[in-house]
Structure 1
Amino acid sequence: MKIRSRIRRYELYRWLIPLFLLLNILQDLVEGAGDFPLRVVNETWLAFFVSVVSYRLLEHTLPKLGWKNALYSFFILLAYVLAYSIGLLLWRYLGITLHIFTPLGKPVPVEDRLGILIGYSIGSLVFFAVVRHLYNYIQLKQHAQQLRIASQQAELNYLKSQTNPHFLFNTLNNIYSLARDKSDLAPESILRLSKMLRYMLYETSEPYIAVEKDLKIIDDYIALEKLRYDDSLRINFNHDLEDAKQSLPPLLLIPLVENAFKHGASETRENPFVDIHLTIKNRQLFFVVKNSTGEPAGEGNFSPQIGLSNLRRQLELLYSDYQLDVKKGDYVFTATLKINLASHV
């Protein structure tokens, strides 16, 4: 963690110092000062000293200071004040002695020169401190965003891990009913279940799949449910797709279908039915599942099942523009799902 933080600091100053130097050079250009090549060398010489001192102050010294060692902190900060004033003046004289720094313009008294250099130091320190603060703020926001995305992905995976076993548990119950009745349809139901298991193991690991694949698993599930009922159950499943290859999160629609059979048709004694309609046009998904119930609207209380609860939470994590409505009427239950597929988060 410390190494990563150090690398980020180096990356910051690797472009911040050249930017600081460039701004000073541009200022000389705007002011129309003469001897431009010499001024570039002078600015580079001063920028080197100020950059090193600012880096040491902002990255190494300030983080270690505190009120517990107030006296020590005071003397350390005083040392930096001297470095930014007298130290910079001595650095300038050193450059002149080494014939690196070239004095330009009229001679200025030492006290005036010191004042000019102090102003230069303060401006430089403010520049470094402000840019560093903004950089750290942006990095912190990006890190928080990455953590949020990772947390949401973990929750999505958890919801899927809940939905799949729940879905399979209900399917196994159906097969158990057939096996208990020694039905000849039990082998066919096991075969269909194996196809669904293969789909869940090898197809649903991706964040998106073609919608036609999810429709195929819905078809298999409906066929499996039909094995439990006689001809009295009426099932209508139709869809109108603008593009069957467009992407959709896997198993997003199956909870509504499962709910229609598990808590609807199976509890209806007379004229059970399930109507399913899916439309996707212009990136707008419209999914309606209507099923019979065993009681009128005024009787019983509707409590969301785990499949519907998980579906609602997945929608919150996946899309910003969606609507899931469930309505219990007289012997009829209707679930309506609308999603703007372009609103994926």
Structure 2
Amino acid sequence: MKLLSGIKRSELYVWLVPAFLLLNLLGSIAGHSSQLLPRAVNETWLACYVSVLNYRLLEHTIPGMSLKRFFRSFLLVLPYFFAYSLGIFLWRAFGVGLHIYTVLDNTLTTDKRIGELTGYSIGSIIFFGVIRHLFNYIKLKQSAQQLQIASQQAELNYLRSQTNPHFLFNTLNNIYSLARDKSDLAPESILRLSKILRYMLYETSAPYAAIEQEIKIIDDYIELEKLRYDESLHVNFNHDLEDRKQSIPPLLLIPLVENAFKHGVSETRDRPSVTIHLSVKNRTLLFTVENSTGELAENNKVKENIGLSNLRRQLALLYTNYSLDVQSGDFTFTATLKINLDSHV
């Protein structure tokens, strides 16, 4: 684990060291246009020293320091005062002795030379420290965003895991009613339920599904619900789509349809009805579900069940531009969902 951590830290220096060297080369060449090759070798020699020193300081020494251990921290950083001043001077002298470093100016005294090299070292600390801080800040921000995305995805999966059993529970109740009455429609209802289950098992794990698949599931669910009622139930499902292949999150629309039957039609004694309209134009989805109820508007207060509450939260996680409005009228309840599909998070 420590080895992997060291590799990740060193990735920054793969491009940071050449950038520092190039910056100093350009500055040296700008100030002195002659003897370009010796100056380039000199800058490379010094850059090697301060790069290793900065890596040790920034990645190993400073992270181990703390105010609680002030004396120990002071002892850790004390050698660097000498390394960045006298140490770099000795490194230069070592390069001269190996005939790697070329002395281009003999007029400077030893004190001034040490001062000049110390300034060079301090400049390198500032350069490496600032870039490292920015790099870590960007990495931290990216990690926070990834963590937020993962958290939102986990919450979205949780909401779907609540919605799906809720949806299946109501459907199984319908089939149970038919089976209890020994209805000949029970086999057909089981067949339609198997289609819904197949879709939920194999299609809803993906983040998107074609809208035509959602329409098929809504059709199957409507037909499954109609099996419970006689011909007095009137259902009108119409849709106007520019592209039947365009994608939306799976099972996003079914909670409104389910709500219309469970909390509307089932409580309507006289001429129960459901009217559903779906349109997608210019990447704007409009889904309206109107169902009959058994009460007047003044008594028909809006009560948001788990289906509607979960749907609102899913929309908040999935889109930035949407609206979900519910209204109660005299013996009617209307839910209107509008989504800008381009506003997907």
TM exceeds 0.5? yes
1:262 corresponds to:
262
Q: 1:138-162 CA distances to partner (integer Å, 9 max, x unpaired)?
A: 1111111111111111111111111
Indicate if the aligned counterparts of 2:236 and 2:274 stay in contact, CA closer than 8 A. yes
Name the aligned partner's letter for residue 94 of structure 1: F
**Superposition TM-score, scaled by structure 1 size:** 0.97
Identity %: 68
- How far 1:300 sits from its partner (Å)? 4.6
- How far 1:31 sits from its partner (Å)? 2.5
**Range that drifts further, 197-206 or 243-252:** 197-206
1:328 is aligned to 2:315: no
Whole-angstrom distance in 2 between the partners of 1:310 and 1:187 = 31
Whole-angstrom distance in 2 between the partners of 1:342 and 1:208 = 13
Residues 205 and 69 of structure 1, relative CA distance in 2, 3 Å threshold: closer
Q: 1:216-247 CA distances to partner (integer Å, 9 max, x unpaired)?
A: 00000001111111111111100000000001
Q: 1:32-53 CA distances to partner (integer Å, 9 max, x unpaired)?
A: 4311111110000000010111
1:227 corresponds to:
227
Matches within 5 A, 1:23-42: 23-42=23-42
Name the aligned partner's letter for residue 183 of structure 2: S
1:319 corresponds to:
319
1:66 corresponds to:
66
Whole-angstrom distance in 2 between the partners of 1:257 and 1:32 = 78
Name the aligned partner's letter for residue 70 of structure 2: A
Matches within 5 A, 1:171-320: 171-320=171-320
1:94 corresponds to:
94
Name the aligned partner's letter for residue 83 of structure 2: A
2:128 corresponds to:
128
1:57 corresponds to:
57
Output the aligned Cα RMSD. Answer: 1.2
| SS of corresponding position for 1:250 | coil
Structure 2: runs of 5 or more not aligned: none
| SS of corresponding position for 1:67 | coil
Whole-angstrom distance in 1 between the partners of 2:343 and 2:2 = 38
Whole-angstrom distance in 1 between the partners of 2:143 and 2:3 = 16
2:151 corresponds to:
151
How many residues align? The count is 345
Whole-angstrom distance in 1 between the partners of 2:3 and 2:11 = 12
- How far 1:106 sits from its partner (Å)? 4.4
**Superposition TM-score, scaled by structure 2 size:** 0.97
- How far 1:67 sits from its partner (Å)? 2.4
Name the aligned partner's letter for residue 292 of structure 2: S
Q: 1:100-153 CA distances to partner (integer Å, 9 max, x unpaired)?
A: 000113420111111111111111001111111111111111111111111111
**Range that drifts further, 275-284 or 195-204:** 195-204
1:78 corresponds to:
78
| SS of corresponding position for 1:68 | coil
- How far 1:279 sits from its partner (Å)? 0.5
**Range that drifts further, 173-182 or 50-59:** 173-182
Indicate if the aligned counterparts of 2:300 and 2:328 stay in contact, CA closer than 8 A. no
Whole-angstrom distance in 1 between the partners of 2:99 and 2:334 = 87
Indicate if the aligned counterparts of 2:45 and 2:101 stay in contact, CA closer than 8 A. yes
Structure 1: runs of 5 or more not aligned: none
